[in-house]
A and B are shown apart, each in its own frame.
Chain A
Amino acid sequence: MRGISFDIAHMLAGTLLLLSFLQLYQDRLYALLNVFALHALALALSVAWQAYVQDAPHLYVTALIALVFKAVIIPVALHRIIVRLGIHREIEKVVGVGTAMLVGMGLVALSMVVMLRVTAEADPLAREDLAFALSVVLLGLLMMVTRRNAVSQVVGFMSLENGLVLAATGAKGMPLVVEISVAFSVLIAFIVIGIFLFRIRERFDTVDVQALDTRRGERQ
Chain B
Amino acid sequence: MALIVDFAVQGAQMLLVLLLAPLLTGLVRRVKARFLRRRGPPLIQPYRDLMRLMRKDVVLAENASWLFRVIPYLVFAATWVAASLVPTFRTGLLFSWSADLIAIIALLGSARFFQALAGLDVGTSFGGIGSSREVMIASLAEPAMIMVVFTLALIAGSTQLSTMAGYMLSPEVGLRVSLGLAALALIMVAIAENARIPVDNPATHLELTMVHEAMVLEYSGRHLALIDLSASLKLLLYVSLIACLFSPWGLARPDAGAEALAIGTVSYLVKLAVGGVLLAIFETSIAKMRVFRVPEFLGAALMLGLLATLLLFVSRSL
Contact = CB atoms under 8 A, between A and B. Distances in A.
**A, B co-complexed:** yes
Interface of A: 2, 4, 7-8, 10-11, 13-15, 18, 21, 25, 97-98, 101-102, 104-105, 108-109, 112-113, 116, 124-125, 128
Contacts of B43: none
B63 interface: no
Interface string B174-208: 11110011001000000000000000000000000
A112 B296 contact: no
B303 A124 contact: no
B308 to A, nearest CB: 9
Nearest to B299: A98
Contacts of B306: 105
A112 B307 contact: no
Given A10-B318, A101-B303, A128-B317, A109 B175 contact: no
10 contacts: A2-B317, A7-B176, A10-B175, A11-B177, A14-B177, A15-B180, A25-B296, A98-B296, A124-B315, A125-B317
B316 to A, nearest CB: 10
Contacts of A108: 307, 310
Contacts of B304: 18, 21
- Give the size range of B's interface with the partner: 20 to 34
A14 B181 contact: yes
Interface string B14-39: 00000000000000000000000000
B299 A97 contact: yes
Given A10-B177, A105-B306, 11 more contacts: A10-B175, A10-B176, A11-B175, A14-B181, A18-B184, A21-B300, A21-B304, A25-B300, A98-B296, A109-B310, A113-B314
Nearest to A127: B315
Nearest to A96: B296
A190 B64 CA distance: 70
Nearest to B297: A25
A105 B310 CA distance: 9
B300 A8 contact: no
B310 A8 contact: no
A116 B315 contact: yes
B296 A97 contact: yes
Nearest to A125: B317
A98 B311 CA distance: 20
Contacts of A124: 315, 317
Contacts of B315: 112, 116, 124, 128
A116 B300 contact: no
B303 A8 contact: no
Nearest to B179: A11
B181 A105 contact: no
B296 A14 contact: no
B117 to A, nearest CB: 29
Contacts of B310: 105, 108-109, 112
Contacts of B317: 2, 124-125, 128
